[in-house]
Amino acid sequence: MTTPAWSDMAPATRPADYQPVALVDVLDRVLGTGVVISGDVTISIADVDLVRISLNALIASVGSLVPTPRISEAGEDTT
């Protein structure tokens, strides 16, 4: 495997290499449209078929998927 051009970079400039990638960040990108909770995620397959992912199941399980939720700043609910 070729050495990535940035492999000489200091860890501080490449922090993401030292963290697991969060599923929701990948979903934002591979779905093209981002993940929006109001309703379901819609996936178009071959520009024709629409598949809706109900996010309820995803939300229920996402606690175990997200790396290190930051509880320390939980102080006040901001929603």
Q: Which residue has the tokens 């509880």?
A: 71
Contact 50, 44 (CB under 8 A): yes
Q: Please report whether residue 70 would count as binding another protein according to CB under 8 A.
A: yes
Q: Which of residues 28-57 bind another protein (CB under 8 A)?
A: 28-37, 43-49, 51, 53-55, 57
What are the φ/ψ torsions at residue 32 (nearest 5 degrees)? 80, -35
Q: Please report whether residue 18 would count as binding another protein according to CB under 8 A.
A: no
Burial of 63 (0-12, 13-18, 19+ CB in 10 A): exposed
Q: Please report whether residue 11 would count as binding another protein according to CB under 8 A.
A: no
Chain residues binding another protein by CB under 8 A are: 1-2, 4-6, 9, 12-16, 19, 21-37, 43-49, 51, 53-55, 57-63, 65-66, 69-76, 78-79
